[in-house]
Amino acid sequence: MLNLIGKDVALVDSEGSNEKSLYTDRPIVHEYIRELNQASFGTLEDIITVGEMSSTTVENGILYSNPDRNELSMIFSFHHLKVDYKDGEKWTDQPFDFLELKRILNEWQAGMSDGNGWNALFWNNHDQPRANSRFGDPERYPFETASMLAQTIHLLRGTPYIYQGEEIGMTNPDYDDISSYRDIESHNAYRELKLAGLTHQEAMRIIKQKSRDNSRTPMQWDSSRHAGFTTGEPWLQVAANYPEVNVEKECAEGQIFRYYQELIRIRKEHAVIADGSYEGILLDDSEVFAYIRENEEEKVLVLNHFYAGEYTISVPEEWASKASSFLVGNYGERQLASSFTLNPYETIAFRIIK
């Protein structure tokens, strides 16, 4: 984590309540990064830099990524991936807090926009569970889940990152036994959960949800042995759904990969998505994450439904009454109306005529 490379040199007394402040986002970190920028990548053209930041704030995120400060191009922050922690504890069986997820995403989108900072947008990485399993229902709604999560971040302000396998809908492997996991953190957590009195099944339910190995299984290339990843024995076994979820099958007859391609095309062709302003709307809605992207030429309304079942929202009459056009959506083309019913895990974007 880049924002931990500078520590307070003073020895101070502490009550133990805010120890992170002694080694997180210290002022000298910014000096180190600017020095590195000026001595190396900052002297070159067409270089992009991104820093992983632990427990940072929007204010510091702006300092790290505002181009006028000559530090980084963008940053990864992780607050939105702790919304299924109970009282800050990772190894708990806890549904994700959707309203908290919305609050965090809106805070970072609006704050970084106001301060001319830049977000790296992501759901998945090598330390996180698969987003499809974490935030959706990939068994009943594999395409809808994957495409909704993709569109949610690809139409935000920032640079979206795609982690291997999400573009074909890969999921957590759901191993039944702790011996199938290699991650030492998972083994330590399993032992602690058992010592705390949980049964094997209860402990494994948590491990299946939270293990870092969820995102470290081999890439699923085809339906052959080990999903075509190797003729040897892989470090981790592939997920059991690899005959149905693999690159070969997805490219031949699937929808998820093509949807990612469409989202990338839209970002390239519509400047409003690449660099328009951001405004969060329907902030208190319990099922829909909605926002507006806008520049001088275009205004885009984005609706993302994070749950199964149909759900009706009210759209401001001035938007519904104005001429609007469908931009992209995982249920196909629809017409915007003041009372608008969303399908399970539906995502849809409209261009609102200004």
User: What is the enclosing helix (H) or strand (E) of 253?
Assistant: helix 247-253
Comparing CA positions, the residue from 168, 150, 170 lying closest to residue 160 is: 150
Residues 105 and 199 in one domain: yes
Residues 245 and 316 in one domain: no
pTM of the model: 0.95
Q: State the CATH number of the domain containing residue 320.
A: 2.60.40.1180
**Is position 318 within any domain?**
yes
Structural domain range at position 158: 2-263
Residues 127 and 248 in one domain: yes
Q: Are 287 and 333 in contact (CB under 8 A)?
A: no
Sign of CA dihedral 81, 83, 87, 89: negative
> pLDDT by residue for the chain (354 residues), tens digit each?
999 999 878 777 777 777 888 889 999 999 999 999 999 999 998 999 999 999 999 999 999 999 999 999 999 999 999 999 999 999 999 999 999 999 999 999 999 999 999 999 999 999 999 999 999 999 999 999 999 999 999 999 999 999 999 999 999 999 999 999 999 999 999 999 999 999 999 999 999 999 999 999 999 999 999 999 999 999 999 999 999 999 999 999 999 999 999 999 999 999 999 999 999 999 999 999 999 999 999 999 999 999 999 999 998 887 777 668 999 999 999 999 999 999 999 999 999 987
Sign of CA dihedral 147, 72, 30, 70: negative
DSSP 327: E
E strand map for the chain: 50-52, 74-76, 120-121, 159-160, 277-281, 288-294, 299-305, 311-314, 324-329, 339-342, 347-352
**Is position 270 within any domain?**
no
Phi/psi of residue 208, nearest 5 degrees: -60, -35
Domain count, the chain: 2
DSSP 80: G
